[in-house]
Amino acid sequence: MSVSILQRQSTAMRRIHPSPSVAIVGATGAVGAELIGCLERRNFPLSRLKLLASPRSAGRTLTFQGRDVVIDGLTPMSFDGVDVALFAAGSGVSKDHARRAAADGTIVIDNSSAFRMDDDVPLVVPEVNADTLGTHHNLIANPNCTAAISVMALWPLYRENKIRRVIAATYQAASGAGAAAMEELRASTEAHLTGRAYEPRVLPHPYAFNIFSHNDTVDLESGENGEEIKAARELRKLMCAPDLRVGITCVRVPVFRAHTIAMTVEFERPLSPDQAREILGAAPGVDIVDDRNANRFPMPRDATGRDNVLVGRFRADKSDPTGHSLALMVAGDQLLKGAALNAVQIAEALMK
């Protein structure tokens, strides 16, 4: 397909073929496995599934809908005849391949941070801003997991009552650092319980029964880490809220695959916990978990393996006597709404 045809197509929303050929880039990773699972479970109407990974995984097979699919090594030719490519192999691979594949006519949904803030790339959570898919140029970014999970709670509230400020602290799972980090959590915990030494290989600090500031690079000037920078700017882009003030502390906790976020949210006008519960109770993709009697609120155990994001612990922020601020907690599966599910939902939105 020539670039001129592509450019004409991209002036309006280019929808996906009703029975597209789909490729997964990074099929052997934690997100890759969930992409396969989501396509399967949601009966995504694909005509063909191509699994791509690094050359060292080429030739291995993975199962899709009961059949073995052989993994191909990723090359620039891999996207010939592919309608939709779901990238989940990190920023480097995305930078090397995604723009070219998009220029050649494949619709790329990219899970990395490589293009998220580019002006010509929509950053999409379908429940929030599916409308921004209207002008894509074959490249669509899937948000950072913390941003994607947080925005599921923030956006429905924001629509009713503009949010001025968010102060958040996260309790982030191993999966955000990949399958190897999940294995490091398991192995180091086992070692700890049996009194054996364990030298961290994937994460910078001991993970067993420990928490630590998020492992993304720390900006030496500001002291923020990369995860905090991403979460704040992506929340602003997702909600089209350039003035939203975000102060966030991102922390890893010894949990396998669901992130929890404690938030204090300041609104333009007063908002009661009951109003917030009602608004979010009607929001798509959100389940309310808010049982004061049973002391049951959003937990990673309950969010794991679940498509919907859990929201609860609605209460007045006791540090704001004006009634403009609420505290709440959110928990979502990092590999599902925080990554694979949202990418597949973007593809589904493009088929509607």
What are the catalytic residues?
A: 145, 259
**Residue 180 binding a second copy, by CB under 8 A:** no
List the one residue from 5, 12, 193, 282 that touches a second copy (CB under 8 A).
193
Count how many residues are written for the chain: 352
User: How many residues contact a second copy, by CB under 8 A?
Assistant: 64
Residues from 269 through 288 that contact a second copy (CB under 8 A): 273
List the one residue from 87, 155, 171, 267 that touches a second copy (CB under 8 A).
171
With CB under 8 A as the contact rule, which of the stretches 37-45, 105-113, 124-132, 298-306 interacts with a second copy?
A: 298-306
- Measured between alpha carbons, how far is 232 from 247 in angstroms, rounded to an integer? 8
Which helix (H) or strand (E) covers residue 172, if one does?
A: none
List the one residue from 137, 230, 236, 313 that touches a second copy (CB under 8 A).
313
Using a CB cutoff of 8 Å and minimum separation of 24, what contacts does 297-302 make?
A: 297/329, 298/260, 298/329, 298/330, 298/331, 299/260, 299/331, 300/171, 300/173, 300/255, 300/256, 300/257, 300/258, 300/259, 300/260, 300/331, 301/258, 302/331
Least Å from the CB of residue 267 to a second copy: 14
With CB under 8 A as the contact rule, which of the stretches 8-16, 59-67, 117-125, 208-216 interacts with a second copy?
A: 208-216
Tokens representing 199? 């030298």
**Residue 42: is it exposed, middle or buried by C-beta count within 10 angstroms (0-12/13-18/19+)?**
middle
Asked if 38 and 341 count as a contact pair (C-beta separation under 8 A), the reply is: yes
The full DSSP string for 288-319 is: E--BTTTTB---HHHHTT-SSEEEEEEEE-TT
Nearer residue to a second copy within complex by CB, 59 or 281 = 281
**Residue 319 binding a second copy, by CB under 8 A:** yes
**Residue 320 binding a second copy, by CB under 8 A:** yes
**Residue 191 binding a second copy, by CB under 8 A:** no
Least Å from the CB of residue 332 to a second copy: 13
Residues from 214 through 253 that contact a second copy (CB under 8 A): 215, 217-220, 222-225, 228, 232, 245-249, 251, 253
- Measured between alpha carbons, how far is 112 from 131 in angstroms, rounded to an integer? 21
Residues from 38 through 97 that contact a second copy (CB under 8 A): none
List the one residue from 144, 297, 310, 341 that touches a second copy (CB under 8 A).
297
With CB under 8 A as the contact rule, which of the stretches 3-11, 33-41, 189-197, 340-348 interacts with a second copy?
A: 189-197
**Beta pairing partners, 267:** 163
Which ranges of the chain would DSSP assign to H, the alpha helix? 3-9, 30-41, 91-103, 126-129, 145-160, 179-193, 226-238, 273-281, 300-303, 341-351
**Residue 325 binding a second copy, by CB under 8 A:** yes
Question: What are the residues binding a second copy (CB under 8 A)?
Answer: 165-167, 169, 171, 185-186, 189-190, 193, 204-206, 209-213, 215, 217-220, 222-225, 228, 232, 245-249, 251, 253-256, 260, 262, 264, 273, 292-297, 299-301, 313-321, 325, 327, 329
